[in-house]
């Protein structure tokens, strides 16, 4: 499996040198981390028990550790193996069967770390007085006016037209009696 880059020819040559028949090599032209990978999907669909997916590097196979784990799970489900030339990973080799489960553990760790880091960043921003989300459409004075008009019995449509904002904005700023 090759990802199309400037060195795609070099990758193909390395795979051929590693014993992969030239006709079996697939080149994905998708760029970016979340783009469609039709050739990868085709290869994974064609693999069966005992087959080996050979890649030049794990970074060419997957866009993230999580994506790599998902590919690994698919390979395990069909009893196929993975061989990466750069990382010298070969799950068919003696003692290498634990590589994919180890990657699953690392993916879980990555998710935990990202979640904790995001939470810490949001907490720090709140401590500095920052509030997330879109700024309110109405100023405090306009929101108070909207509430006053609503309490006087004016319709939300009338209030929205008066303030020149959508009705949904008015609804978001009203305290309605329970």
CB atoms within 10 A of CB 150: 20
* Closest alpha carbon to 1 in 75, 78, 83: 83
Q: Which long-range contacts (CB under 8 A, 24 or more apart) does 86-92 make?
A: 86/56, 86/57, 86/58, 86/59, 87/57, 87/58, 89/58, 90/52, 92/52
> Quick one: DSSP state of residue 136?
P
| Residues with Cβ within 8 Å of residue 109, at least 6 apart in sequence | none
> Quick one: DSSP state of residue 135?
P
**3-state class (DSSP) for residue 90:** strand
Active site residue 30: no
* Size of the chain, expressed as the number of residues it contains: 178
Catalytic residue among 3, 30, 115, 117: 3
Query: Any idea which residues carry the catalytic annotation?
Result: 3
């Amino acid at each position: 499996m090759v990802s199309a880059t400037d060195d795609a020819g070099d990758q193909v040559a390395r795979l051929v040198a590693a014993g992969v028949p030239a006709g079996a090599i697939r080149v994905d032209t998708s760029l970016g981390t979340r783009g469609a990978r039709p050739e990868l999907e085709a290869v994974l669909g064609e693999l069966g028990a005992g087959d080996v997916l050979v890649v030049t590097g794990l970074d060419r196979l997957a866009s993230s550790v999580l994506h790599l784990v998902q590919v690994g799970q698919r390979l395990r489900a069909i009893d196929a193996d993975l061989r990466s030339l750069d990382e010298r990973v070969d799950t068919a080799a003696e003692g290498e069967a634990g590589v994919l489960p180890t990657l699953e553990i690392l993916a879980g760790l990555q998710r935990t770390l990202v979640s904790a880091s995001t939470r810490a960043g949001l907490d720090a921003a709140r401590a500095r007085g920052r509030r997330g989300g879109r700024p309110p459409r109405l100023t405090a004075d306009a929101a108070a006016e909207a509430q006053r008009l609503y309490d006087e019995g004016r319709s939300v449509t009338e209030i929205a037209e008066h303030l020149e904002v959508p009705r949904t904005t008015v609804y978001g700023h009203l305290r309605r009696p329970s």
